[in-house]
Amino acid sequence: MRWNWTQPDWPNFRYDSAAIEPLERRFLLCAGEILGAVRHVTGEEHNRLRIELLSEEAMRTSAIEGEVVDFHLELSRFFHREVSHL
């Protein structure tokens, strides 16, 4: 997959809305599940869930970009960075 800014029609994108509709629906359903879960946890559980979700997203983004990342090292760095802001 090419980067957005390397597309010949950048920044004027064209897409088939029918083709992405099932993916959008799935995304919205999953986002709703996450929001529901977050509302039912408090305190330390809330912070742990937040860190886990953001860490997973960072790992997926790195994989898309072709980077090999040490999950435990990145989680540790993220945790220390987040805890220092509390």
Please answer whether residues 55 and 74 qualify as being in contact, where contact means their C-beta atoms are separated by less than 8 angstroms: yes
CA distance 59 to 50: 14
Residue 38 pLDDT: 79
Torsions phi, psi for 30 (to 5 deg): -65, -40
What is the value of pTM for the model shown? Answer: 0.48
Write out pLDDT tens, residues 33-84: 888 877 888 888 888 888 788 878 877 887 777 777 777 777 777 777 766 6
